[in-house]
């Protein structure tokens, strides 16, 4: 079964959360079955795991068999590419990573280059060289405060990305930081995620959005509402946005993504509903004795 055709890509940070058996996956689903179930409902996933470790060729072959052709895996360049040393010196490592993921074909688009908060305006020439030479579709997430100051340095970044046809990934952490819970998962997420202003860019036909939600689903509604209109507007303009929904520990990420699609469907009535995964094990077929 394939995901229904949609005018945007929707997903979560991962498909491998075993706690989703509580409400999303069948309660008897095995970890090796999670991706197949996930891809029945959502048509994209953040490739966060590749930031920490490169998948084996065998793993990639299995993913390629399971992921539908229209599925998108926004693989992050590994840490040693984006966070260690000069980007220009890391081009060979980045190119090796692109070659490694070749079995996934068009499913990997765009690659994500997530830069550390220390990567500032003085390194823009380095970034431009990397983007010109890598030979793959890339989207960039910046975290340095100068790139959110609405000054000359932010304008320089935006002009460069727009000119190269590279998306600036928009991170929206407002719902997360509105949470006053002292739960360890919330405190850890608030410590790790950058508290940056919104920058909803559409430098290409595929704007990229990461929404980091509140652990109580209802609390996300006021933060989600502007995104419903923004994403609907992009779709009406003929763009194909990518939207990824997180929660602090991501236990409810699939529920939040489902809610986003439900609300977008109310704004765009022609939008196809998401598929549903049967939760109960199928009845055993008993033959006649």
Residue 47 forms part of a structural domain:
yes
Q: Please compute Rg for the chain using Cα positions.
A: 19
Total tally of structural domains belonging to the chain: 1
Residue 147 CA to residue 171 CA, distance in Å, equals 13
Residue 57 forms part of a structural domain:
yes
The pTM (predicted TM-score) of the whole model is: 0.93
Residue 2 forms part of a structural domain:
no
Residue 214 forms part of a structural domain:
yes
Which range marks the domain in which residue 252 is found?
A: 9-267
Residue 263 forms part of a structural domain:
yes
Say if strands 72-75 and 44-47 run parallel, antiparallel, or are unpaired: parallel
- Describe the strand order of the beta sheet including 138-141 as a list of residue ranges: 111-114, 138-141, 167-168
Residue 283 forms part of a structural domain:
no
CATH of the domain at 46: 3.20.20.410
Residue 107 forms part of a structural domain:
yes
Would you give per-residue pLDDT tens digits along the chain (289 residues)? 444 479 999 999 999 999 999 999 999 999 999 999 999 999 999 999 999 999 999 999 999 999 999 999 999 999 999 999 999 999 999 999 999 999 999 999 999 999 999 999 999 999 999 999 999 999 999 999 999 999 999 999 999 999 999 999 999 999 999 999 999 999 999 999 999 999 999 999 999 999 999 999 999 999 999 999 999 999 999 999 999 999 999 999 999 999 999 999 999 999 999 999 987 654 443 343 3
Residue 4 forms part of a structural domain:
no
């Amino acid at each position: 079964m394939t995901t229904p055709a949609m005018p945007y890509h929707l997903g979560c940070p991962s498909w491998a959360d075993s706690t989703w058996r509580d409400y999303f996956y069948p309660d008897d689903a095995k970890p090796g079955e999670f991706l197949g179930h996930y891809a029945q409902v959502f048509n994209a996933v953040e490739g966060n795991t590749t930031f920490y470790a490169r998948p084996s060729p065998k793993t990639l072959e299995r993913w390629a068999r399971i992921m539908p052709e229209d599925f998108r895996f926004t693989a992050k360049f590994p840490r040693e590419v984006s966070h260690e040393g000069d980007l220009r010196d890391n081009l060979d490592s980045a190119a090796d990573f692109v070659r490694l993921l070749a079995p996934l074909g068009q499913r990997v688009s765009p690659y994500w280059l997530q830069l550390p908060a220390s990567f500032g305006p003085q390194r823009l020439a380095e970034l431009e060289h990397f983007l010109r030479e890598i030979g793959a579709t890339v989207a960039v997430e910046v975290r340095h405060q100068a790139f959110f100051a609405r000054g000359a340095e932010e304008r320089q970044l935006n002009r460069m990305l727009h000119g190269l046809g590279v998306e600036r990934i928009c991170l929206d952490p407002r719902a997360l930081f509105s949470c006053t819970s002292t739960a360890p998962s919330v405190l850890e997420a608030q410590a790790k995620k950058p508290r940056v202003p919104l920058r909803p860019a559409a430098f290409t036909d595929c704007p990229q959005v990461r929404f980091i939600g509140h652990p109580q689903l209802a609390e996300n509604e006021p933060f989600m509402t502007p995104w419903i209109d923004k994403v609907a507007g992009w779709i009406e303009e003929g763009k194909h946005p990518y939207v990824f929904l997180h929660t602090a520990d991501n236990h409810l990420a699939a529920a939040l993504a489902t809610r986003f699609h439900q609300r977008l469907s109310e704004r765009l009535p022609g939008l196809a509903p998401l598929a549903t995964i049967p939760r109960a094990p199928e009845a055993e077929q008993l033959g006649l004795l």
